[in-house]
Amino acid sequence: MTETTPGWLAPEELEMTRARMPILYVDAVPVRVDDSGEVTHVGLLLRIGPDGTVSRALVSGRVLHHERVRDALLRHLEKDLGPVALPRIPASLQPFTVAEYFPTQGITPYHDPRQHAVSLAYVVPVAGDCMPRQDALDLVWFTPQEASSPQLQADMPGGQGFLLKQALAHVGCAP
């Protein structure tokens, strides 16, 4: 069987590339907003890792070959929040920050043991119903204050807790 889809990488090719190149990612912080655009809630995915540890995560994933950043955002949001979440992808691609996940700890606030990933991070208002699928167990909405709590921050590994705090600071939500 031959794989001919452009942008597709065989597992061993992905491994090799991960050891040689920074991999382009997008991170999306799903939020509920009121009519004036103010963020009222932040959505976090609940994941259970292979070793049974519970963690919370933002919507995150690779940008594929020949895929626009906005299409990657849409694809990952649909994959994680379901087909009727109605995400409002920003009109401008200017991210609120660029998160550099290094395989080595301590170089930046972000860490990914698998790879060097560079992620464009966006706040994405979501207007519809969210029905997590794939490997996520659940999507839970938190107030900005709850999302800043040390307890919840501790459940977000690899610097995603800090990335969430950066998103909240960007939209003006005090802890």
Contact 32, 128 (CB under 8 A): no
> Which string of x and - marks every residue 78-117 that binds its own copies (by CB under 8 A)?
----------xxxxxxxxxxx-x-xxx--xxx------x-
- Residue 151 interacts with its own copies (CB under 8 A): yes or no: no
* Shortest distance (Å) from residue 32 CB to its own copies: 10
- CA dist 172 and 167 (Å) reads 9
* Shortest distance (Å) from residue 147 CB to its own copies: 14
Beta bridge partners of 56: 46
- CA dist 60 and 162 (Å) reads 15
Contact 165, 148 (CB under 8 A): yes
Structure tokens at 158: 């690899």
Nearer to its own copies, 100 or 136 (CB): 100
Coil, helix or strand at residue 136 = coil
* Shortest distance (Å) from residue 166 CB to its own copies: 4
* Shortest distance (Å) from residue 14 CB to its own copies: 9
> Which string of x and - marks every residue 125-144 that binds its own copies (by CB under 8 A)?
x-------------------
- Residue 162 interacts with its own copies (CB under 8 A): yes or no: yes
Contact 94, 69 (CB under 8 A): no
